[in-house]
Amino acid sequence: MTESKNVNELFDALAKVLLRCFALGYSFLLLWFVVYVFAGDVIYGIAGTLFGLALHEVDVINYCAMAVVKVAVVLFFLFPYIAIRLVLRRST
């Protein structure tokens, strides 16, 4: 009985960590979006100067990178959190 309780506590702690990672990941995405919207010209100036990229290329790179990060955050943090919560709900 004690071992089962310890495992449940471990999964509960892991679920809390995953939820915080998910929130931090989405906060990072929101910050990235806000910076890109309000400082897009600065980002383009830096990327255009250093790498010779056009405005469209900088836009595509940023939007694709945001999509990859969003998918990674959902796949690696939200889905495991939901799975752990479902397992904990079933075990109680």
Number of compact structural domains in the chain: 1
What is this structure's pTM? Answer: 0.87
The tokens describing 17, both together, are 């960590």
pLDDT at site 48:
86
pLDDT at site 5:
82
Provide the residue type at 34 as one letter: V
Range of the domain at 71: 2-91
| pLDDT digits (tens), the chain, 92 positions | 577 788 899 999 999 999 999 999 999 999 999 999 999 899 999 988 899 999 999 999 999 999 999 999 999 999 999 999 999 998 76
The tokens describing 3, both together, are 């071992």
The tokens describing 34, both together, are 């806000």
Helices 55-73 and 40-51 cross at an angle (nearest 10°) of 110
Taking the C-alpha atoms of residue 55 and residue 43, their distance in angstroms, rounded to an integer, is 10
Nearest Cα neighbor of 85 from 22, 28, 27 is 22
pLDDT at site 1:
58
